[in-house]
Structures are given as C-alpha cells and as structure tokens.
Structure 1
Amino acid sequence: MAEFREKEETEEPARLLDPERLSFTRDDPEWEDHLRALLARSDDSELKSFVSDLYTSDIAHFFEKLSFEESDRLFKLLDPEEQGLLLLELDDNIKERFLDHLSHEELATIVGEQQSDTAADILGELDDEQRGRILSRLDPDDRFEVSELLGYPEGTAGSIMAREFVSVLETDTVKKAIANVRRISRETDDIYNVFVVDKAGRYRGHISLRRLILTRPSTRVKKIMEEELLPLPATMDVEEVANSFTRYDFITAPVVDERGVLIGRITADDILEVMQDEASEDFLRMGGVSAEETLKTPVWRAAAVRVLWLTINLATAFLAASIVRFFEDTIEKVVILAALMPIVAGMGGNAASQTMAFTIRNLALGEISKQGSRRVVFREMGIGLINGLSLGIFAGLLVFMLTHHVILSGLISFALFGNMLIAAAIGSSVPILLQKWNIDPAIGSSIFVTTCTDMGGFFFLLGMARLLLPFLLSGIQ
C-alpha cells in the first residue's frame, strides 16, 4: 500500500500557484507551468476559474504554447462572447484552424453574442460561403447590422464602427433621456457620451453622462447638449479617423452617413488597434515585407513576396553601378576614390532615411497638409545644408589627416555636402509626391530615395575627381 501511495505522489501534477499571493505575469514561466498543471487534471473547475480571470489577449498568448487539443479544451470553457473576442486575438494560423474546426452552429452562436463591429470582424475572416451560412443563422436585426458593416470598404470609418450606441431626441427632457439610456445600456457597453439627434435621425450633438445625471429632469436636451464633437463620415479613411481622435482627444466619436444620419460610433480602443496596425504595416512596407507575414508564414511564401522587392532594388543598384562604370578610368588612376565612394553614398542614404521617416510620419498625421509641402521641403533642405557643411568639413579633415592631400580632402567635403542636399530634397519630396499620386509613401519611397542618393553621391565624387584629375595625380605622386 505504501508503494502504491508513493507512485501516486510521483504522478501528481506540478505544484499549483496561488493567484491570491502572486501577481499574474504571462511571460513568467511559472504561470505556464501552473496552466499545464491545471490541464493535467481531469476536473475543469479550477481551470475554468483561472481562465475566466485572464484577459483574452493573455489566453491567446498561452494558446501559442499549447497543443490544439489543449487549446480547444480551454476554448470550450469560455462563454460565447469571450470566445469571439479570443478568436480575434489569436495568431492567424491558430485562428484559421479554429474557424475550420468550429461548426456553423457554434460560429453562429459566437457571432450572435458579439457587438456588431466584433461580429463583422469575425465574419470577415471567413470565405463568402461560410459567411453566408453564418449570417443566415443570425437574428434578422443582427444580420442586417452586421451585413451593413461588412458592406463598407476595408480601411474606412464604417468598417470599424459599432452599430450599438445611445441616442436621444433633442426635444426630449432629461428625465426621458435618462430612461432611454437605462433601456439601451443593456445592449451597449462603455457608454461615454449620449448622442443627440433630430426627428430624422441626423446627428446634432452630444451630452456627457455626468451632465445628463446632474441636470434637472424637466430640462430639454437641446439646451444642455454640446456640439464640439465632430461627426465622422462613414467613408472617411481610418488614418484620418485616427488623426481626428489624437487631434481632438476624442474618447468616442459619432459616425454619420452621407445624409448626416447617425449610424454608429467609434471608440478609442478601436483607434488604438488601427494605429498599431497602420504603424506596423508602414514599418514592414518600408522594408519590402508583407504586413501579413508572421513567424509562422511558410518560408517559400515569404521568400516569394520579398523577392519582388529585392528584384526592384537590384535593378536600381545597376543604375547606380552605371555611374561608377562611366568613371571607371578615373577610379583606375585614383584608387583611393573606391574607398571613399561607400562613405559618400552611405551618409546620403542615412540622411535620406531620416528625412523620409520624418516626412512619412507627418503625412500620416496630416500635419504636412496644414503646414504646406513646400515649407517642409525647404525646412529639410535647411537641415541638409547645415549637416552637409558640418559633416563635409569633418570628413575632409579626417581624409587630410590620413592622406595629407588637400584636393582629395576638398573633394570628399564637396561630395558629402552635395549628397546631403540631395538626400534632404529627395527624402522630403518623394513621399509627398507619391501621396499626391495615391501611392502609399511607405512602399515606394525608399527605392527612389536610395537610388538617387547613391547615384548623386557617386556623380559628385567621381565627376569632380575627373575634373580635378591632374591636381589629384600630382598630389598623390
């Protein structure tokens, strides 16, 4: 009997942590061990209690470390509303597997428990056939709202808004408005403002909950409403929506159709996701990487996407090489020029990257349209002038210390100065022009800018070297 008990003790799962005494940190390996210990038990009561206290983003983090069978077991412990939120947090590959694994009835139950924007996001992950089957199982009202959201083009205010909001008529009394808020609040989360509309449903203003509660019940809503909360057109680009939120410190904003009728609302958490996605997408695009690529993307697919960008860069590199080949005889006579060429081209490329990043950021924030594009270009040219002079003088002194050649020192100074001006002009103007031509500046800017700074740097250095060749040769000899 003693031997049997000893064997039982060795098969006990790992010691469980006490959530009351140790704060949760998902990157702490002890919490992963704690979760695995709970999974090793046949009783799901403690496991369900533990998972119910976690944010869906933390549950999604653990899903990446568990097998699909373990993840599915956890998934089934959640209520349908949390299941829907979790699906949107999952890595694309895991999400795709769950969407294929769940039945149409299960998906319809999950979608039916979500707010309209979350439901639309989940259905947006499905193909047309699956989406149609799920929509057919929803209540008519839910089906109409979600279908309307799915009809808006991706990247517009309408595609990220929620149809659930609290509105009152401008002719209502405060007492009646509060009664409406109580009635509608059962279906709407996070009520920050009460929107005010006229009898045709057109947006007129808003009232904060605090002011609504503190005002006398007999007061008309029209007398206490505020109008500074600007409505957003449903067709507005999400980047413009994000700019409005940051510019005016919105927590929530009304969305209207072309007639000015209130049709939805956007909250700050929606915009945080948009800003994060846009920033990541722009950063990846500047490097020629697809925004959809993850660590789990198949190698062959990632390589196929990247090779197009690299091929374009290879073609532009040959353009720069043609400048070098044109001055091949000059390089043969003054070999040290080959050592200086990467310095001039590299400094120009770095300066252009700084200018380009600053310009693209301000384009995204909408600042350049207010300040004027010419002012931005002249400002960057001024910075390029100052940096070109200082770096040119510094590089010239270094070259003189190494070679004791005055003409060569002046040559590197002139080439650096000229290429810094090119970097400032091209790095600021190319993104602005691309945006005017409706081309994403983050995609195409670096190709043109790098090519121009390489060619400009080589031309300044080697072109002046050819003109001053007799003086260079006499000094070197």
Structure 2
Amino acid sequence: MQSFEIDKTDLLRIKTALEGDDAELQKVLKEYHPSEIAMLFEKLPQEAKEKIINILPTDIASEVISEMDEEHRPGELLINLHPDKRSEIVEELDYDDATDIISQLDEHEQKEILEDLDQEDADSIRALMNYDEDTAGGLMNPQVICVKMGMDKKQALDEIIRQSEEMEEFYTVYVIDDAHILKGILSLKDVIKARINAKINELVNNDFVYVKAELDQEEVAKLFSQYNLTTIPVVDDNMKLLGRITVDDIIDVMEQESTEDMLKISGVSEDEELSGNWKEAVKSRLPWLIINLGTAYLAASIIRHFDSTVAQLPILAAYMTIIAGMGGNAATQALAVTVRRISLTDLTDSQAYNAVLKEFLVGLLNGAANGIVVFFIALFYDGNPMLGLVLFLAMTGNLIVAGLTGSSIPLVLKRIGIDPAVASSIIITTFTDCAGFLLPLWFATHLLLHTHVK
C-alpha cells in the first residue's frame, strides 16, 4: 500500500460528492482509509467535515477524528455534532485518544460531553485528564488485560477472552495481585503453550520494564527504543497498575518531539502551529529575532573597533562574511548532532567530554581544509600570500570555535536545567559571528598592517 497524498483529484471528488446525495458521498468515502479522510479534512471547511462525520459509521468516524492532527481542532468538530452522535463516537474511541481530544475544549464544553457519556467512560476520561498531557499518565490507556497470580491456565484464558471483548487489540497480559499491584507480565503465546494444569505464577515474567505515571513522554519514548517494546505498563508509586502505553502512541510522541526540537533550534516557539496564521507566527518569532538583533550589534561593535583596519584593507569585508557564515553552518551541524545525542540518552561526563573533543577535531580539520581553499583564492585573486595566511588562520579558528560551542553549549545548558534546543542557536550564532569578524580583523591588524608599518 502506497502512502496517501492529497491531490486536486481527491479534493474534487469529495467536493463533488458533498454536493450530491448522502448515498453518493458514502460510496466515495468507502474508497478512503480513515487516516486519508482525516488528511482530506485539512482542506475542507467545517460544514463539510461535520456532514462527512455524520454520515460515516460510528467506528469509522471515531477513527477519522482520532487521526486528525491536534492543530486542525478535532475537539471543535466533535463539540458541534449532535449529542447522541458525539457520545457514540467518544465511547468508540480509546480512552487516551478521547482524553486528548476533549482536553482541547473549554471547561464548559468538556463538561457537556462528559455528562452525556456512560458513567464508567466519563470517570475514566476524567481520571486521565488529571495527568499532564506530555507525561506517561497523559499517554496511557487504562484499558488493560489482567489476570491474577493464583489462576491456572484455564481460568486465565477465560479471563483474557472476557476482558478482550471490549478491546481492539492487546500485546501483553499483566499479572496482578488482589490489590491490583503489578507483579509481572505474560505473553498470550506462553499461556497457550503452557501445560493444561500450569499456574500463572509459574509462567509470569517478573523482569519487566515499567514507567511511573509522572514520567516525561520523551523518557518513555527512549525506553521503547532502548528495549524494543510494543507496550509498557504504567504504575503509581505503590506499583498499582494504572494502564498501558502502546507503540502507536510513542510514534506520535517521537514525531512531536522531533518537530519541537527542529522549531526550537530554528528559534521558533513550539507553541506556533505549523498551519497557524501570520499573527501567531509573528508573536512566536519576534522575541527571538529581537534577541538576535542585540547579538548582531555585538558582532557589529567588533567591526567598529577595527574600523581603521577595514579602511586600509576593504577586501576583508567580503572575506569576513564568508568566514562568519561558514562558522554558523559548522556550528549548526555540531549543534544538531549534540542535541540529537542528548535527546537519545543522558550523556555521562566521559561521553560529554568525548563529544566535545570529537567536534573540536572535526572543526580543526574542516577549518584547515576550508582555510587552504581561501588561502589559494586570496593568492590567486589578490596576489597576497599574507592575506591568504590571515584568512587560513581565521577560517580554521572560527570552525574550531563552531565545533566547541556547537557541542559544549547544549551540554552546559542541559546540565543547568535549560532546554538545549531553545537557547543554543542564539548563543552559538553570537560566538561564530563575533569570532568570524574578530579573527580575520585581529590577524590582519597584527600580521598585515603591523608588518607593513615595520
């Protein structure tokens, strides 16, 4: 199956079907997967979305709403539906998905939806809404398959069959005691293969990975990756089983965290939605641009300090921009690698030192290689080997600065509790811009002008 991309033909088909009768629209919609319909919703007006949701079967409609990106407001679509249709859809959703969608709404709208639900469903969703959305508790689904330690194979299978009737799929069976304390995990395969009179306490795996409800979602994602998990149990401080997180939720988390890091490194707030309007974009980006303006003045002050050097060697003005730009590019590379390493694992002091040393060596070698290139450019175009030497030293020095700052600054920020993706780029740009101007001007002043005066 190929990945789906929205094109004009699909939109035209849907819009044409919307203008006809419901039977024709239903016929067209059957050709699309729920996730594809959710993608089409990005290009359709609110009235069209509501009409489509209302004529879709409840199970399909719930999938469509759960597949919608948060920025396209599935909660607003839900609240505008008839209460009966709305309740049917919410009760069809997994509890974690329902919680995510309802949490987007105002408090009175949340209350309106929850009051129309079955008491058990409403209580489960309210309990999940007490957790921060970016924690394990906010990700988990409280629906789990549980068996007791004292059961035998037949009792366990009967219990698994009974509980699984209300679940679409499950990967792991959890073993608990009478107080609902998690004692271990069990695979369905092991239960089926066990001898007829086997006891659960003989089959249970007591060596398992679990998370506390308050753990950050990024840390949960690391555990999934580290241990190649498909599901992980969520417990409280007393090891009472609260729910489970599945790999499909973690895929969404990884995409979200990756997007946040990219936006932060670029100086864009994570609060800015990718499809937001121009007002949101200005509000999000302007503070960072003002900070950048201040650091740009710092770099400009270096040029003012060496104005006599620039006046005597105006060719330096052209080369300085090249050296500063190369430093910025090299620093961004080192920053991206370091932030990625930090996001994957907590670096030890030894690993952090080795990461900085590696980027220093990379900066030295790349700087020298690029420095040789600019040396020969200066020699060929300007006929001045001393100018070439100045540019070689400045290029090498700035790429060393780029490697050191690009790797060490995010590590330092992480150590003092500041998100390295947020502030690193501005600090690093300041260093590489200042060094990109200072080094060629300083070397030119002392190697070219002083030598010429003598």
Q: Structure 2-normalised TM-score?
A: 0.93
Q: Match for residue 159 of structure 1?
A: 138
| 1:160-213 Cα shifts (integer Å, max 9, x gaps) | 110011111222212111111100101222211111223332222222222211
Q: Match for residue 433 of structure 1?
A: 412
- Report the Cα distance in structure 2 between the residues aligned to 1:94 and 1:129, rounded to whole angstroms: 17
Equivalent position SS for 2:347: helix
2:158 is aligned, of 175, 179, 185, to: 179
Contact 1:363 1:369 in 2 (8 A): no
Q: Which amino acid aligns with 1:187?
A: E
**Offset at residue 292 of structure 1 (A):** 4.3
Q: Match for residue 90 of structure 2?
A: 111
Equivalent position SS for 1:266: strand
Q: Which amino acid aligns with 1:317?
A: A
| 1:215-272 Cα shifts (integer Å, max 9, x gaps) | 1231111222224430111111111111111111101111111111111101110000
| 1:87-135 Cα shifts (integer Å, max 9, x gaps) | 3433535636524523555434432332210111121111112212322
Q: Match for residue 71 of structure 1?
A: 49
Q: Match for residue 65 of structure 2?
A: 87
Paired residues, number: 453
| 1:261-300 Cα shifts (integer Å, max 9, x gaps) | 1111011100000001111111122222233434652222
- Report the Cα distance in structure 2 between the residues aligned to 1:395 and 1:312, rounded to whole angstroms: 32
Residues 40 and 133 of structure 1: CA distance in aligned 2, closer, same or farther (over 3 Å): closer
| 1:399-439 Cα shifts (integer Å, max 9, x gaps) | 22222212111111111111111111111111112222222
Residues 472 and 101 of structure 1: CA distance in aligned 2, closer, same or farther (over 3 Å): farther
Q: Match for residue 399 of structure 1?
A: 378
2:300 is aligned, of 321, 346, 371, to: 321
Contact 2:74 2:101 in 1 (8 A): no
**Offset at residue 381 of structure 1 (A):** 1.3
**Offset at residue 34 of structure 1 (A):** 3.5
- Report the Cα distance in structure 1 between the residues aligned to 2:178 and 2:385, rounded to whole angstroms: 82
Contact 1:352 1:426 in 2 (8 A): yes
> Which consecutive residues of structure 2, in runs of 5 or more, have no partner in the other structure?
none
Within 5 Å, which residues of 2 pair with 1:44-55? 44-52=22-30, 54-55=32-33
Contact 2:50 2:81 in 1 (8 A): no
- Report the Cα distance in structure 2 between the residues aligned to 1:371 and 1:179, rounded to whole angstroms: 53
Within 5 Å, which residues of 2 pair with 1:25-36? 25-36=4-15
Within 5 Å, which residues of 2 pair with 1:3-42? 25-42=4-21
Equivalent position SS for 2:234: strand
- Report the Cα distance in structure 1 between the residues aligned to 2:32 and 2:188, rounded to whole angstroms: 30
Equivalent position SS for 1:272: helix
Contact 2:387 2:448 in 1 (8 A): no
Q: Which amino acid aligns with 1:390?
A: A
Contact 2:79 2:86 in 1 (8 A): no
2:254 is the alignment partner of 1:272: no
Contact 1:465 1:472 in 2 (8 A): no
Contact 2:371 2:392 in 1 (8 A): yes
- Report the Cα distance in structure 1 between the residues aligned to 2:270 and 2:8, rounded to whole angstroms: 30
Q: Match for residue 284 of structure 2?
A: 305
- Report the Cα distance in structure 2 between the residues aligned to 1:68 and 1:200, rounded to whole angstroms: 48
**Offset at residue 319 of structure 1 (A):** 0.8
Q: Structure 1-normalised TM-score?
A: 0.88
